[in-house]
Chains A and B, each alone.
Chain A
Amino acid sequence: MFKGYSLLKYTIKRILQLIPILFAITFLSFAMMRLAGSDVVEQKMLNTGQVVTDAQLEAAKAQLGLDKPFLVQYITWLNDLLHGDMGVSFVSGMDVFDTFISKLPATLFLTVTSIVLTVIISIPLGIISAVYKNKFWDYFIRFFSFIGNSMPNFFVSLVLMYILGIKLRFFPIISREMSFESVAMPTITLAIAMSAKYLRQVRTTVLDELGKDYIMGAKARGVKFSTTLWKSVMRESLVTIITLLALSIGSLLGGTAIVESIFMWDGVGKMAVDAINMRDYPIIQAYVMWMAIIYVTVNLITDLSYRLLDPRIRLEGTDNE
Chain B
Amino acid sequence: MSAFLYAVALQWRLDIRSKTLLITCYLVPLLFFAIMGGIFTAITPETKDSLIASMTVMGISMGAMIGLPPSLAELYGSDIKKAYQANGIPIGLGITAIFLSAWIHLFLMSVIIYLIAPVAFDALLPVHSLRYFGSLALFLTVSLSVGGVLGLSVKNQAKLTMVSQLVFLPSIMLSGILFPVGLLPDALKFLGKIFPASWGYRLMLGDGSNFLNILPLLVIFFAAGMICVALLRRRKV
A and B found bound together = no
